[in-house]
Amino acid sequence: DKVLRLSGVSKGYNHGLPTEVQVLRGVDLSVAAGEIVALVAPSGAGKSTLLHIAGLLDTPDTGRVEIAGEDMTGVPDRRRTAVRREAVGFVYQFHHLLPEFTAAENIVLPQLANGAPRREAEARAATLLDSVGVGPRATHRPAALSGGEQQRVAFCRAMANAPKLLLADEPTGNLDPETSDRVFAALMHLVRDTGLAALIATHNLELAARMDRQVALDQGVLA
Ligand code: ADP
Ligand code: ADP
Rounded Cα–Cα distance for residues 94 and 72 (Å): 28
Instruction: Encode pLDDT of 18-52 as tens digits.
Output: 788 899 999 999 999 999 999 998 888 899 999 99
169-190 residues labelled b (16+ CB within 10 A) or e (exposed): bbbbbebeeebbbbbbebbbeb
Is the separation of the CB atoms in 185 and 18 below 8 Å? no
Rounded Cα–Cα distance for residues 178 and 196 (Å): 25
Q: pLDDT exceeding 70 applies to what percent of the chain?
A: 100
- Environment class of 15 (CB within 10 Å of its CB; exposed 0-12, middle 13-18, buried 19+): exposed
Residues with CB under 6 A from ligand 1: 13, 15, 23, 41, 43-49
Task: List the 70-71 sheet strands across, edge first.
Answer: 21-32, 2-13, 62-67, 70-71
What is the pLDDT at residue 150?
A: 94
Centroid of ligand 1 to alpha carbon of 46 (angstroms) = 6
Secondary structure (DSSP) of 70-95: EE-TT--HHHHHHHHHHHEEEE-SS-
- Antiparallel, parallel or unpaired: β 62-67 and 2-13: antiparallel
Q: How many CB atoms within 10 Å of residue 136?
A: 10
Asked casually if ipTM beats, i.e. exceeds, 0.85, the reply is no
Whether the model clears a pTM of 0.90, i.e. scores above it, the answer is no
Centroid of ligand 1 to alpha carbon of 24 (angstroms) = 10
Centroid of ligand 2 to alpha carbon of 186 (angstroms) = 16
Q: How many CB atoms within 10 Å of residue 81?
A: 11
Reported confidence tier of residue 194, pLDDT bands at 50, 70, 90: confident
What is the pLDDT at residue 134?
A: 94
Reported confidence tier of residue 95, pLDDT bands at 50, 70, 90: confident
179: pLDDT strictly greater than 90: no
Sign of CA dihedral 100, 127, 177, 191: negative
Number of the ligand closest to the Cα of 151: 2
